[in-house]
Structure 1
Amino acid sequence: MRHFIFFVFFFAVFAVPARAEAPANAVPVAAPEPEAAAAQAPEVPAAIAVLLEAGSTAQYVGEEAGYQAWLLIGPGQKQVSYIKLGENTVISGTMTDEKGENMSARQLLQAAADGKLENIAEITPETAKNQGLGDKFLAETAALRTLAYGPSTGKTLYVFMDPNCPYCHQFDKAVRDLITAGKSVQLLVIPAPILGPDSRDKAVRIYGAASPTAAWEKFMADGTLPDLPTDPAVKEDAEKTIAANLHVMSRWKLPLVPMIIWRGADGRVMMSYGTPKDMQELLHNAGIE
């Protein structure tokens, strides 16, 4: 299987997010035994260690096609970087396979599901010069064409989702179950096909439907999709909508899906990626009781 790495450096428009304060009732996670930690994350390579000395943090993502993948987060940047096994040179960018599928995104999804990556993060940094960036990010997200479920008076959760992402399906179902149970929460879905051409095709079908909201709900329920729009204008509009969604993800350096954004109970803008391991913790943080 052929793999390709496009060397693109990404520079974020905000400082490194600080981890959100855990709710009072959250149970701290015990540190893994040394043997378990070593099995999950290899020793930090020298080329990565140099970046850590410059103020970056590194989270091990996994191994793919003979490369170790590391998520680097530092002042003004967030990027996936690779080191070829047996070598010590860092290359940064997106790895794809011969079908154009985004292997880097798949790696990040799996790493988040396995608990290898930090989860809840505060978007608005605790520095005076960056105050208000969280509000700006939330405003740009809210301006996108969302698919709404649940009461409009409920607490709003914006979620970027890829149609082919299994963790997106899990989160979608979890929130719908909460809505069915009477929780005052509104789910605003933003289709963002980052996993490849098939994901994009599905997103076009959904946005090109007479009712995109109903089309997404049907797809989540049983996998059924509407036909591709035959009207060129409708298809073009769907493509533009998808491009706008992906632009916001790229502009704010959102690494993977599901990417969940909300305003916390204390007023700060927060985000979490991947399926939350503790949904109650997220609800508590968002002020949903």
Structure 2
Amino acid sequence: MTRLQQLTCALAGIGLSTISTAHAADWPAPIKAVEARGAKVVGTFDAPGGLKGYAARYNGQGMTLYLTPDGEHVLIGSLLDAQGTDLGQAPLEKLVYAPMGKEMWEQMEKSAWIADGSPKAPRIVYLFSDPNCPYCNLFWQQARPWVESGKVQLRHIMVGMLRPDSPGKAAALLGAKDPQAALNAHEAAGKDSTLKAADKVPGEIRKHLAENLDLMGEMGAQATPSVFYLDDKGRLQQQQGVPQPDVLAKIMGSQAE
């Protein structure tokens, strides 16, 4: 079940009179009902047929709401014209995804990450990485041509989620004297890595790992590696898991030399 379906089901059977209308924005009652179930309305847009469009965020995704002309009901989902064009996509891009992408990028910049590559690289790629993740290691290997040529800097946002010793290993990397060297040594060794979990994790590093895991969830990432990059139009894009060669080129911004 998608998040949109979850919200739709949550709204089903709930009378509008039972929803609190104590919201900062003076939205109509049906829109307030949607907000009361966890969505955040961020703007309005014109819609045909006497409808009024609303753009909202829900669990890291954009969705469109359409208020009926009587102001008493709201439709949740896509509105298509005769050519099959979703009339809500452009408003969602402007009102939800563009500002949300900028916000998420800034959050990743502030997170606890380990750099892999030159700080002067023209392209930055973030990924949520677990020390015990074999697919993170595969992505590290895939990225070598771009990283070693100075074209891309990978920023590993360390999390510990796959195995009981993952948090300790992530802490060991973050707390190393040279985190970049420690990470590259671990990844280069692959299955033969000798990385040991930290016996005692300093409070600050424990805090960083918890914040990284929370950020991963906020960004809708469910597995490692979860890769985030900006496309040619500056829009935030996500890749779950190891990418195929054509997708890898898009992530890195060019073909490998």
User: Which category of TM-score, normalised to the shorter sequence, fits these structures?
Assistant: 0.5 to 0.7
- The equivalent position to 1:269 in structure 2, one of 233, 236, 249, is 236
1:82-231 alignment to 2 at 5 Å? 125-154=92-121, 155-180=123-148, 182=149, 184-222=151-189, 223-225=193-195, 228=198
Task: Give the match's secondary structure for 1:270.
Answer: strand
Q: Say which SS state the counterpart of residue 153 (structure 2) adopts.
A: strand
Q: Give the distance between the partners of 1:161 and 1:179, measured in 2 at CA.
A: 17
Contact in 2 for aligned 1:148/1:187 (Cα 8 Å):
yes
Q: Runs of at least 4 residues of structure 1 off by over 6 A?
A: none
| Structure 1, 210-219 or 167-176: larger mean CA deviation | 210-219
Cα–Cα, structure 1 residues 189 and 125, in superposed 2: closer, same or farther, change >3 Å?
A: farther
Q: Is the 8 A contact 2:152 2:252 kept in 1?
A: no
- Cα distance between partner residues in 2 of 1:202 and 1:269: 29
Out of 208, 220, 227, the residue aligned to residue 253 of structure 1 is 220
Distance (Å, rounded) in 1 between the aligned partners of 2:99 and 2:153: 24
Q: 1:282 is aligned with what amino acid?
A: L
Shift of 1:183: 5.2
CA shift, 1:266, in A, is 1.2
Identity level (%): 28
Give the TM-score taking structure 2 as reference length.
0.59
Larger radius of gyration: 2
CA drift at 1:143: 0.7
**Structure 1 residues without counterparts, runs of 5 or longer:** 1-8, 17-53, 57-123
Give the RMSD, CA atoms, in angstroms: 2.8
- Could you tell me which runs of 5 or more consecutive residues in structure 2 were left unpaired when the two chains were aligned: 1-9, 11-37, 39-57, 64-75, 79-90
Compare relative contact order (CA 8 Å, sep 6+) and give the higher one, 1 or 2.
1
Shift of 1:284: 3.4
- Structure 2 match to 1:287: 253
- Per-residue deviation at 1:208? 2.4
What SS does the aligned partner of 2:177 have? coil
- For 1:261, give the aligned amino acid: F
Amino acid at match of 2:226: M
C-alpha displacement of 1:166: 0.9
Aligned residues: 172
Letter in 2 for 1:144: S
